[in-house]
Structure 1
Amino acid sequence: MIDLEQVRTFVAVIEAGSFQNAATRLGIAQPTVSQHVRKLEETLGRRLIERARAQAVPTVPGARLLPFARTLLRVAERAEASLSGGGFAIGASSNIGVYLLQPLASAFRSNAADLGPIDIRIGSNPETAKRLEEAEIDIALMEWWDDRPGFDAAIWREEPVVVIVPPGHRWAHRRWIDRTMLMEEPLIGGEPGTGTARLLQERLGIAADQLKAGLQLGSTEAVKQAVRAGLGVSVALASAVHDELAAGRLVAPRLRGGGLAKRLYSVVPDHAPARGPARRFAAFLHEKAV
């Protein structure tokens, strides 16, 4: 069995750069640090740390262990916090976390002071799903869900999705555009794993290989700058481009046959208590969406 204290010491040695610095950080004697690391190495059957010029660096197995060790420590902290009733962690995909979540979390906190501090962790959709599975967060807010077992998912919002072009684009003053036109322009991609390609397939019948691929960027902010620079067109949540559309820095031509909307999901573990913070926040989101 892996001992958490030994794992904590191992991480401290790597982060502090030496056994002595780790001992100072942890408030224990250096021989105890060495003993913890040695016992962890014996348990795992691998040498985890190399001493190089008075500096401690991870071996190849140690480097592989490090992210898992940090996850173990985070989960242990979350477990202790949940038992003491302190803290509540919300995980959100980047677009939701940046453009939608903050005022909702603030309003919820003002009505749920008994929950203590709220921790918001923003990442990609796959990262958020992984954090939920590893119990690093209490609830996930995502742009898709794949119905994996062990979780309760519900749609809490249908957020409009718009095509965005720069003001000087040939579509900027058109009354509408259609799916054929959309397939003719380089389409700038944002963060992977948002479900946008799935949305275009389901709502417009456009398969991924029918699109004219443009730049592939890692965030909506980067996408907006690329569109403004005339490098292509893109598709984004309306809330993510609200300010640019209002200021005229971007234009959202209408799609013929009606607009697009993306279903946003709240996901909690199926064992989450009915009156616990995760389900309370999920209920709050649904009330606000009505």
Structure 2
Amino acid sequence: MDLRQLRYFVAIAECGSFSKAAQRLHIAQPALSQHVRNMEIDLGVELLFRSPQGVRPTEAGETLLRHARVMLGQMEVAREAVRGQQSEPEGEVRFGLPGTISQMLCVPLITEARRRYPKVKLRVAEAMSGFVLDWLREGKIDLGVLYRTVTDKGLEARRVLSEDLCLLGPVAPMGAPHPAAGPVPFAQAAGLTLILPSPGHGLRDLIEERAAAEAVRLTTVIDLDTYGQIKLLVEGGLGYAILPAAAVQREVEEGRLKTWPMGVPVLTRDLHVVRPSDRPLSQAVRVIEELAHATLIGLVRDGVWRATLVDPDDHAAP
């Protein structure tokens, strides 16, 4: 095997088909298929399941995929080291963001990255926090933002800010009266008809941990993993939700939704920028990590993101 074959294999696995990978790599599909077949013969194992719907890695293929991503990343780092650190950062950076963070961070981060580092290709993927963590573990992304610290030996988390969660409801009461003005105790919020992310989602886990600590039961009518749809259902009067204030700021200002602060103790969650610690990082990844950190700080300092900085002395991007 050589690095070219590994690059081809990664593209096929990510695209899910030979034809899409061939288009992405700008090579003929038969040649691509032959490269994979040569790898399978060389290794003595089948690397891909082939079906009319496309292809996906076998168990052996998944193992090769993890190692291939690491090797290709290390080659990129080595290439940069040879060129010298004084050169302008360049290359691809894959960044994973949960939806509530993406709607706040994505546009200013991409805008500033294009201005500062025109040779860096920033690819942002949006998914629930559990998927972002899996992508980091599997080497599918270079950086991620998570609402929880990580215990994986191969990952390093940098805590940036802490934000309060609030109770979200429709403007007009739905059947029963709204909660009274002022902070709503968690036990009272848990007794409302709630629309929450499904179990396994970071926010849902946090809410369930608080419910267990207070020995209360959550009344969940709908499990939904899309924040935009959760807000629409709440606006339509189907229930209440527990979300960060920053995620609903626009709808509240437009008079479409109503929020209540959560009572003592306040329900909060921390935000971390996470990167791999078990492999070298390219110069492009390092500068985007620092830019993301600085951009988050700037959003808080400018009042765009209602949150508390972990380190008040942190500096935003100029």
* TM-score normalised by the chain length of structure 1: 0.74
Q: CA deviation at 1:197?
A: 3.4
Tell me, yes or no, if the aligned pair for 2:69 and 2:139 is still in contact at 8 Å: no
2: distance between equivalents of 1:99 and 1:62?
35
| Residue aligned with 2:220, SS | strand
1:201 aligns to 2:202 (yes or no): no
Q: CA deviation at 1:159?
A: 2.2
Which residue of the partner structure matches residue 91 of structure 1?
A: 96
2: distance between equivalents of 1:263 and 1:57?
39
2: distance between equivalents of 1:226 and 1:214?
11
1:263 aligns to 2:270 (yes or no): yes
1:134 aligns to 2:133 (yes or no): no
Tell me, yes or no, if the aligned pair for 2:94 and 2:124 is still in contact at 8 Å: yes
Cα offsets for 1:256-277 (capped at 9, x unmatched) = 3364332111112336569732
Q: In 2 relative to 1, CA 107–161 (structure 1 residues): closer, same or farther, beyond 3 Å?
A: farther
For 1:145-156, list aligned pairs within 5 A.
145-156=149-160
2: distance between equivalents of 1:4 and 1:44?
19
2: distance between equivalents of 1:166 and 1:13?
42
Q: CA deviation at 1:203?
A: 9.2
Q: 165-174 vs 78-87, which deviates more?
A: 78-87
CA RMSD of aligned residues (A): 4.0
Q: CA deviation at 1:214?
A: 1.8
Which residue of the partner structure matches residue 18 of structure 2?
A: 15
Tell me, yes or no, if the aligned pair for 1:156 and 1:285 is still in contact at 8 Å: no
1:166 aligns to 2:176 (yes or no): no
Tell me, yes or no, if the aligned pair for 2:96 and 2:126 is still in contact at 8 Å: yes
Q: CA deviation at 1:106?
A: 2.6
For structure 2, which runs of at least 5 residues remain unmatched after alignment? 81-89, 301-311, 313-318
Q: 221-230 vs 186-195, which deviates more?
A: 186-195
Cα offsets for 1:2-61 (capped at 9, x unmatched) = 8752783793894329xxx89x95248x4x5564343333324349577x9xx8965xx8
Of the two, which has the highest radius of gyration? 1
Number of equivalences: 277
Q: CA deviation at 1:245?
A: 0.6
| Residue aligned with 1:210, SS | coil
| Residue aligned with 1:130, SS | helix
1: distance between equivalents of 2:274 and 2:57?
34
Using the aligned pairs only, state the percent identity.
Answer: 17
Tell me, yes or no, if the aligned pair for 2:273 and 2:293 is still in contact at 8 Å: no
Which residue of the partner structure matches residue 178 of structure 1?
A: 185
For structure 1, which runs of at least 5 residues remain unmatched after alignment? none
Letter in 2 for 1:148: D
Which residue of the partner structure matches residue 108 of structure 2?
A: 103
Higher relative contact order (CA 8 A, sep 6+): 2
Q: 81-90 vs 185-194, which deviates more?
A: 81-90
Q: CA deviation at 1:142?
A: 0.8
* TM-score normalised by the chain length of structure 2: 0.69
